[in-house]
Amino acid sequence: MRVVLLGGSGFIGRALTSRLLDNNAHVVVTSRNPERGRYLIPEGHSFHVDFALWDGKSPDQLAPHIKSADAVVNLIGSSIGDGRWTDERKALIHDSRVSAGTGLCNAVSMLDDKPKVVIQASAIGYYGSQPTSPEEQYVTESSPAGQGFLASVCKDWENSTACMDISGSRRVIIRTGLVLGDGGVLQKFLTPFRMGMGGPLGSGHQVMSWIHIQDQVDAIIHLINTPSCEGAFNLTSPYPETMTDFCSALGTVLGKPSWLRVPAAVLRMAMGEMAEELILQGQRVLPEKLLDSGFCFSYPSLTDALKNILNR
């Protein structure tokens, strides 16, 4: 199986590369700087990966790399959590995603031998967010798009590859939650907890829809290998948790207290708009279609997921 990863050197991309190689796939990773990209791939894997030059937007440059591919996975997008959301930063977050998606879609349209399936990244931010979510309130793949900056970005991100729905390539959209692993959002919690100063951010009632990195990459491979899967899929654990419960579980696994709540006003002052949408609000998202497709989670429980990540 030949898989082309766009954005393969990021947190999810590196884990996916490793799992694909373990499954004897031929992996191609595109990069603006292929030589630098090689050093971002996990040790022991980089020399088993082919690197291809792509500027993140040109269809002519991309088309030869994805011709006849069994799968293309588009994970490209500037990080949403690296710095305050200034107008310039918000434009970069939006445009990096849409430019890559548009370039990919146009590249597929140019080819006679098209990829069999295209996995298009998105996020649960598509559904919007709210400060709290009672147990009976949840969203699935059939729920409508929400409001706010992230919802707007996700809608445009998904629409950037919409032309593929009539191209002959199967398209799958992965709406990903908070990915827990050795990197990513979990690392931002660890330092204060290990110092004995951890605790919930804001009210603690906001819901965190999360997924273990192993389930994330296994779900992507499952969607690649299951021809009946198309359209949008939520990649989240079946058991979302509130911020308070998440921090309590993290403290228990680390053997540390979870007592020092950070007030919402402090977060708003420090982070502005980003604090509101990324931290102080959340969504109770369920992976209804993924479960219906036959996917089995290795780590549906938050405590088991945290133990696996932190007690290795």
CATH number (domain holding residue 20) = 3.40.50.720
- Burial tier of 115 (Cβ tally within 10 Å: 0-12, 13-18, 19+): buried
Q: Flag whether pLDDT at 222 surpasses 70.
A: yes
SS3 assignment, position 41: coil
φ, ψ of residue 210 to 5 degrees: the values are: -120, 170
3-state secondary structure of 167: coil
Q: Rounded to an integer, what distance in angstroms lies between the CA atom of residue 242 and that of residue 260?
A: 16
For 75-102, the pLDDT digits (tens) are 999 999 888 999 999 999 999 999 999 9
> Is 71 part of a structural domain of the chain?
yes
Q: Please report the pLDDT score of residue 38 as a whole number.
A: 66
Residue pair 178/235 in contact (Cβ under 8 Å)? The answer is no
At 231, phi and psi to the nearest 5? 90, -160
Q: Whose CA is closest to 31, among 13, 15, 47?
A: 13
Q: Is residue 307 part of a domain?
A: no
Task: Please write the tens of the pLDDT for every residue from 136-154.
Answer: 899 999 999 999 999 999 9
Task: Classify residue 154: in a domain, yes or no.
Answer: yes
Whether 134 shows a pLDDT value over 70: the answer reads: yes
Residue 225 resides in a domain: yes
pLDDT tens, position by position, 40-64: 666 556 568 899 999 999 999 999 9
- Structure-token match 């989240």, residue found: 236
pLDDT for res 194: 96
pLDDT reading at 33 higher than 90? no
Residue 199 lies in a domain: no
Whether the predicted pLDDT of 164 surpasses 90:
no
Query: What are the Cα distances from residue 44, in Å, to 1, 4, 14, 41, 240?
Result: 20, 19, 12, 9, 34
Is residue 279 situated within a structural domain? no
pLDDT in tens, 261-289: 999 999 999 999 999 999 999 999 999 99
pLDDT of residue 292: 98
What order of strands is seen across the sheet that includes strand 170-176?
50-53, 26-31, 2-6, 71-74, 117-123, 170-176, 231-235
Instruction: Give the pLDDT score at 9.
Output: 83
Which residues face 170 on adjacent strands? Answer: 117
- Identify whether 201 is part of a domain: no
Q: 164 lies in which domain range?
A: 2-181+209-240+284-298
Nearest to 227 by CA among 169, 174, 176, 162: 169
- Residue 285 DSSP one-character state: B
Model-wide pTM > 0.85: yes
Number of domains in the chain: 1
Measured distance CA(15)–CA(8) in Å, rounded: 9
Is residue 224 domain-resident?
A: yes
